[in-house]
């Protein structure tokens, strides 16, 4: 949806707000926890035709922190089919 088209319904009526209040920080409503002391702000994209929402980590450097702190879903040692 970052490119302006909904992958679910094909609509181009996509909206995003990058300047939301409370986007990050200890009380951020538009963020995800990475650790006890780190929060990653999110950029959200919404299709106003079907309601699909996609979220992306706003700051690229936080992706490395996520890869260091979170468990991979592709970890074959713990994967069950």
Spatial separation of the C-alpha atoms in residues 54 and 58, rounded to whole Å: 12
Which two three-digit tokens encode residue 63?
């992706």
Please give the backbone phi and psi of residue 46, each rounded to the nearest 5 degrees, phi first: -125, 130
4 or 21, which is more confident: 4
Q: Name the DSSP class of 64.
A: H
Enumerate the domain spans of the chain: 14-69
pTM of the model: 0.75
- DSSP H stretches of helix in the chain: 61-69
Tell me, what's the pLDDT at 19? 72
Compute the chain's Rg from CA coordinates: 15
Token pair 């450097």 is found at 61
Residue-level length of the chain:
81
pLDDT category at 64 given cuts 50, 70, 90 is: very high
């Amino acid at each position: 949806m970052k490119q302006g088209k909904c992958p679910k319904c094909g609509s181009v009526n996509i909206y995003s707000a990058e300047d939301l209040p409370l986007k990050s920080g200890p009380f951020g409503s538009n963020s995800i926890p990475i650790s006890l002391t780190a929060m990653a702000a999110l950029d959200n994209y919404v299709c106003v035709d079907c309601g699909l929402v996609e979220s992306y980590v706003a700051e690229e450097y936080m992706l490395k922190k996520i890869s260091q702190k979170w468990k991979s879903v592709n970890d074959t040692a713990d994967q069950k089919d």
